[in-house]
Structure 1
Amino acid sequence: MRDRITAFLVLLPSLVAVGVFVYGFIGQNLWASLTDWGRNPAQALALRPELKFVGLENYRELFTGFVDMRFRQSVVNLIFFTLFFMAGSLGLGLLLALALDRSPKGEGFFRTVFLFPMALSFVVTGTIWRWLLQPQGGVNVLPTLVGLPPLSFPWLTTRDQVLVFDWNALPFYTALVVGLVLLYLAWRAHREGEPKRLAWSLLAAGILFLWAFTVGRGLHLLPYPEPHGFSLALVGVILAAVWQMSGYTMALYLAGLRGIPVEVLEAAKVDGASEWQTYRHVIFPLLAPITLSAMIVLGHIALKIFDLIFAMAGLDYAPTDVPAIYMYLLAFRGNQFAKGAAIGLLLLLLVAVVVVPYLASQLRKEVRR
């Protein structure tokens, strides 16, 4: 009993600090997002502003208001940036790890070179890549070194978009994506022999698909079509982010490859597996936990991305906006603190959706052990 009291007293200062400076401020931010703080310019910077409770009005305006179309494009930018950034970092990191796993000459040198970008801050990376992606220089003049004409792609200054869709279809697409994730979880539950989780996942997926194709397709967030798509100005930002973080995924995959027991690989050869079959049925499945961990870290970085875009494209260029940029503009330039707080809460929820299920699964595994 005395040990428990001692342990509690030792942990108490940390618990109080976390409760006040983390969860207390989250609660304060939540309250601010439910008020009209910033709508009245005279009250925005007042010492004791008179705030009125407006409920979810700020959230409604962000997703359906005419003025906040830029926020909705920033959400679309964030989704595409996260997908391509994660895919590029994982794919390039895996290829580099597979190459280094063959122990080429100068392996230590190449490993250092591939890991070096990770030691830089995003501000430094953004500054370097902004120089490299100048429309009249940098990457565009590389073909001239071999006698070819220079490239003409404007990189960070283009306003072109691809994969354009109507914002009104967002509920439909969201339900489809969540339904597919539930189907994947059902498949995992089937493989792991958990019939209860399989049944619940299939039931939830069925309900979502039914809602998507009945109610979701006819649901309109706006009274007019509002096209959004993948801004090609983000291509340069994605290249810079992948360049910096692929070394991190390479280190993870290389450690995983070096940790695979030799006996397992030799057993696969004895069973007649080709090199490709060994990778497909033995090595890649063993690397799945590493891939999941890397996806969590990369997703967390992508959802909070601010400094890289700030350094490469600045704050005022809408085609490269992400919610964190728009939040800064609203809160600290426009003094619309309630809407800024609402965007901050949305980002917190997105990060929680990525991190919390992973932490919960890891905790369950620890309990089982």
Structure 2
Amino acid sequence: MEQKIEKSTRVEPSTPIKKRRKISKDQMVAVGFISPSIILILIFVYGFIGWTGWVSVSNWNTLVPDFSFAGLKNYIYLFNDYRFQADLRNTVFFTILFIGLVIIMGLGLSILIDQKLKGESIFRNIFLFPMALSFVVTGVVWQWLLNPSTGFNQFLSVFGIQPKWYTDTNIIGGFEWGSIEFGLPVAIIAVVIAAVWQMTGFSLAMYLAGLRGIPEELREAARMDGGSEFQIYRRIVLPMLMPITVSVVIIMAHISLKIFDLIYAMTGSGANFVTDVPGVYMFETTFRGNYYANGSAIAIIMLLLVAVFIVPYLITNRRGDK
């Protein structure tokens, strides 16, 4: 009898039942608000990227659409094309000079302004003002300023100096690479000057915010330990500004790799394509030459160039958030 009672009162272990996660009303409202944006992004961003990719491997190089598969023919044509090789060369040197000068000048100016200068707000506004202009306006203004017969050259002519600026076709340190002479085009320096003038204010604001976020106690402690101002900036300030530097590099690389409006308004493709970039080539190929497959291939290559900088940055940030 006791054994029967024990069997009847024994509780069998039950398997855990997974609780269903209830979606709250606030979450449903949030999903409802962002759903239209997600749908539009999927269609008008990723959908069009996919469409551009498909056109880039088609034979659509006339006004009549032809979606027959062409493989990598359009890409092979581009990398053997003299103009596209010149575009890649110009993009490389423009990106290096543009990013380097924006970082150096932005950091230097932010350090100077951080010294509690009188009229600090005036200096900040002066350097931030160019950012209020579009690249088209900047291109038109600097086209006149650097025109060989006007602008700065009227002043420089007093000293017997007459630079050709963006009309110069010389290549510094050039060597044969494919069909072109690979080196620094002198004309691209004029475009870099205009781009740096406009975007230095952005890096200045970023670095100044970073400097103001560094506790003064750290600098005082370093000074008490006998550290000079140079050592303080080298050992403490600059390492703490590294995340800002990375952000500036990513944003400036994104701008430089897809630059179009500044080049188009200021110089165009230039003599012998010394100031040409993939964005200008893509526009003229697609909308003036009606070579839609070739233009789409240029657009995909530009997207991949930007992704080389953006994707590693996003992956690193995602890992840091975990």
The verdict on a shared fold, with TM-score over 0.5 as the criterion, is: yes
Asked which structure has the greater RCO (Cα within 8 Å, sep 6+), the reply is 1
Structure 1 residue 2 and structure 2 residue 15: aligned? no
Residue 152 of structure 1 aligns with which residue?
162
SS in 1 for 2:71: coil
CA shift for structure 1 position 6 = 5.1
Residue 318 of structure 2 aligns with which residue?
363
Work out whether residues 166 and 270 of structure 2, in 8 Å CA contact, stay in contact via their aligned partners in 1: no
Cα distance change of structure 1 residues 334 and 77 upon mapping to structure 2, 3 Å threshold: same
Structure 1 residue 354 and structure 2 residue 309: aligned? yes
Structure 1 residue 263 and structure 2 residue 217: aligned? yes
Residues 283-310 of structure 1, C-alpha deviation per residue, up to 9 Å, x if partnerless? Answer: 1111111111011111111011111011
Structure 1 residue 29 and structure 2 residue 52: aligned? yes
Structure 1 residue 17 and structure 2 residue 33: aligned? no
SS in 1 for 2:309: helix
Work out whether residues 141 and 151 of structure 1, in 8 Å CA contact, stay in contact via their aligned partners in 2: no
Residues 156-211 of structure 1, C-alpha deviation per residue, up to 9 Å, x if partnerless? Answer: 1111111323325xxxxxxxxxxxxxxxxxxxxxxxxxxxxxxxxxxxxxxxxxxx
One-letter amino acid of the structure 2 residue matched with residue 82 of structure 1? T
2:177 paired residue among 167, 170, 173: 167
One-letter amino acid of the structure 1 residue matched with residue 163 of structure 2? F
Q: TM-score with structure 1 length normalisation?
A: 0.77
Count of paired positions? 298
Cα distance change of structure 1 residues 101 and 16 upon mapping to structure 2, 3 Å threshold: same
Residue 54 of structure 1 aligns with which residue?
70
Give 1:170-185 correspondences, 5 Å limit. Answer: none
CA shift for structure 1 position 315 = 4.5
Residues 255-282 of structure 1, C-alpha deviation per residue, up to 9 Å, x if partnerless? Answer: 1111110111111111111111111101
One-letter amino acid of the structure 1 residue matched with residue 193 of structure 2? L
Question: How large is the RMSD of aligned CA atoms in angstroms?
Answer: 1.6
1:89 paired residue among 84, 90, 102: 102
Cα distance change of structure 1 residues 226 and 311 upon mapping to structure 2, 3 Å threshold: closer
One-letter amino acid of the structure 2 residue matched with residue 261 of structure 1? P
Distance 1:10 1:104 in 2: 46
Cα distance change of structure 1 residues 226 and 150 upon mapping to structure 2, 3 Å threshold: closer
Q: Quick check: which has more Rg, 1 or 2?
A: 2
Work out whether residues 133 and 139 of structure 1, in 8 Å CA contact, stay in contact via their aligned partners in 2: yes
SS in 2 for 1:163: strand
- Structure 1, unaligned runs of 5 or more: 39-43, 169-224
Residue 16 of structure 2 aligns with which residue?
none
CA shift for structure 1 position 345 = 0.4
One-letter amino acid of the structure 2 residue matched with residue 15 of structure 1? I
CA shift for structure 1 position 151 = 1.9
Structure 1 residue 295 and structure 2 residue 249: aligned? yes
Structure 1 residue 319 and structure 2 residue 266: aligned? no
Residue 329 of structure 1 aligns with which residue?
284
2:192 paired residue among 238, 242, 246: 238
Percent identical residues: 46
One-letter amino acid of the structure 1 residue matched with residue 23 of structure 2? R
Distance 2:116 2:31 in 1: 50
SS in 1 for 2:307: helix
Residues 209-242 of structure 1, C-alpha deviation per residue, up to 9 Å, x if partnerless? Answer: xxxxxxxxxxxxxxxx642322111111100000
Distance 2:270 2:125 in 1: 36
One-letter amino acid of the structure 2 residue matched with residue 25 of structure 1? F
Give 1:91-106 correspondences, 5 Å limit. Answer: 91-106=104-119
Q: Larger % of helix: which?
A: 1
Distance 2:175 2:144 in 1: 32
Residues 318-357 of structure 1, C-alpha deviation per residue, up to 9 Å, x if partnerless? Answer: 2110001111111111111101000100111111111111
CA shift for structure 1 position 36 = 1.2
Distance 1:254 1:16 in 2: 38
CA shift for structure 1 position 84 = 0.1
Work out whether residues 315 and 329 of structure 1, in 8 Å CA contact, stay in contact via their aligned partners in 2: no
One-letter amino acid of the structure 2 residue matched with residue 365 of structure 1? G
1:72 paired residue among 58, 69, 85: 85
One-letter amino acid of the structure 2 residue matched with residue 264 of structure 1? L
SS in 2 for 1:2: coil
